[in-house]
Structure 1
Amino acid sequence: MNKDQVEGRVDQVKGKLQEVAGKVISDEQLRAEGRANQISGKVQANYGDAKEAIRDKAKDIVDKL
C-alpha cells in the first residue's frame, strides 16, 4: 500500500463521519463537506491503486527480462 491509498481511505472514513454527524445535528453544510471529502478520498485512493498497479506491472516486466 502506498501513501495515496492510505490517505485516500482515511479521508473517505473522515468524510463519512462528517456526513453522519451533519445528518444527526441537521447541518446540511457539514453533510455536504463530508460527501465532498468522501469523493476526494475515493479519487486519491483510486490514484494510489493505479500507481500500485503500474508499479507491479513494471516490476513483472523487469523480472521477466
Structure 2
Amino acid sequence: MDKNRIEGAAKELKGTIKEAAGKLTGNKKLEAEGKVDKAAGEAQSAVGKGKDAVRDALK
C-alpha cells in the first residue's frame, strides 16, 4: 500500500472531524477548513491508489 493512501486517509479523517466540529460549534471557518482537508485527503488517496495500480500492473 502506497504511503499516499495512508496519509490521504488520515487527512480525510482529520477533515471530517474538523468539519463536524465546525458544524457543532457554528464555526464556519473550522467547517470550511475541514472540507478543504477532506478534499485534499481524497486527492492524496487517489494518487496513492493510482501508484498502487501502476505497481500492480508492472508485476
- Pair in the same fold by TM > 0.5: yes
- Amino acid paired to 1:29: K
Unaligned runs of 5+ in 1: 60-65
How many angstroms does 1:2 deviate by?
1.3
Q: 1:21-62: per-residue Cα shift (whole Å, max 9, x none)?
A: 000110000000000000000000000000000000011xxx
TM score, norm. by length of structure 2: 0.98
Instruction: Tell me the matched-pair count.
Output: 59
| Consecutive aligned runs of 4 or more in structure 1 exceeding 6 Å deviation | none
Q: Indicate whether 1:16 and 2:22 are aligned.
A: no
Identical pairs, percent:
37
One-letter code aligned to 1:16: T
Q: TM-score, normalised by structure 1?
A: 0.89
Q: Which is greater in Rg?
A: 1
Could you list the runs of 5+ residues in structure 2 that have no partner in the other structure?
Answer: none
Q: Which amino acid aligns with 1:26?
A: G
**AA paired with 1:45?**
S
Counterpart amino acid of residue 41 in structure 2: G
RMSD (Å), alpha carbons: 0.4
Deviation at 1:13, TM superposition (A): 0.5
